[in-house]
Amino acid sequence: MKKLILITCFLTSIFAQAQEYTFISDSLRLLPMQELMKKEPPADFEPVYYEDGTPVAFKEVLPLIIERKLIPRMFVDENGEYKALVVKSTLKNEDIRIVYENIPESLSKSGYSFGNPDSDTVIINIDGGPRNNLSTYGFEFAFSVQGGIDENDYFLINMRESQTLHPEETEKEEISWEQAKNYNIKTVKTLYELISYFKSEHKKVYVVGGSYGSLVGLQSLADYNNIADGYLLMFGRLDMTKEVSTAYSKGYDANFEEDAITPKIGEKSDNVYTVNMRKIAAAMNRDIKYTELLKDVNLSNLIYFYSETDQSVGKLTEKEATFLKSKNAEVVSVKIEHGKYFELVLKDGLEMMLED
């Protein structure tokens, strides 16, 4: 049962009120994800409802929860006792939006939000990858559980990368190099517009990005200067190894040996989507050296994590690390796998960035 709860907790939507559902008593509250992980519901729990109030047996919806086709929302009484479970469908791509009063329509569709819109602090995350789908409930899990963020204290946004708006475009046929670069230009502009908007709302704005997301953060600093209150960038590169970025730009598998220095080039993927995502990633670093682009940019509010054992993007060279330190950025070296940065680094990074 514990394994099941970990799966369901991963998908739980947090920031919603019981009053959303007329069949749920106003006296009940939605159980935060962190709390749900601490307490297992009974296997025969009832009552369980669909969003429209239709009763359903827990055993009937359980397979769909495991397949991530339904999202469980547990409501509890003042003593924290489980009283009702509502299962809702996952958001369709076209329904993803930032829920914030009076936000321009163009910006409302540029991400997924949770947390407290009245908070004076906004955290904007950019997914790794790249990929053509936007993480929603997984994003909540990462920041609430792994990152230790209290959703009552912050307003959090997972920003869209431009290719997520029309995912079918990168699944049908191989995109050109110019198209790959244009996707990135739009993505970086979106980050600038979101930061600018929430700064105009008199909020503190912090940017978080891992892997490809860290490249988006670096490019935004280069294109639009340092306009956020802080940046937490993790497990990327400033000057990507040329052999790796060139191979990636052509759709080839490319990473590093165990020393995180020596390039390792594989075969070109026969999957169009994989080739296109590699092209988009490479377009952010193949012909770019951020040690040059950022030489006149203030980086004193940047926290940069990298791994000495990162076989996906390689570890920072001495030149890259020295450059960051010369710009008064805080550079933190760890020794963990590339895909573990949210699990093992995010919480420490957030604490460092948000401390006043």
85-119, pLDDT tens digit by residue? 998 887 788 889 999 999 999 899 999 999 999 99
Domain positions in the chain are: 2-89, 93-354
Strands 230-234 and 204-210 come out as parallel
Q: 93-354: what CATH class?
A: alpha beta
Question: How many helices (H) and strands (E) are present in the chain, helices listed first?
Answer: 14, 13
Token reading at 289: 């050296």
Token reading at 32: 């935060």
Arithmetic mean of pLDDT over the chain: 91
32-50, pLDDT tens digit by residue? 766 766 777 788 899 999 9
Rounded to an integer, the average pLDDT of 329-349 is 94
Q: Tell me the CA distances in angstroms from 247 to 95, 241, 265, 268, one per residue in order.
A: 36, 10, 7, 9
| Contact status, residue 111 vs residue 51, Cβ threshold 8 Å | no
Radius of gyration of the chain from its Cα atoms, rounded to whole angstroms: 21
Continuous segment of H or E residues that includes residue 350: helix 346-354
Residue 305, pLDDT above cutoff 80: yes
Band (pLDDT 50/70/90 cuts) for residue 11 is very low
pTM equals: 0.84
| Contact status, residue 2 vs residue 40, Cβ threshold 8 Å | yes
Band (pLDDT 50/70/90 cuts) for residue 9 is very low
128-185, pLDDT tens digit by residue? 999 999 988 788 889 988 899 998 899 999 999 999 999 999 999 999 999 999 999 9
CB neighbour burial string for 271-288, b if at least 16 within 10 angstroms, e if fewer: eeeebbbbbbbbbbbbeb
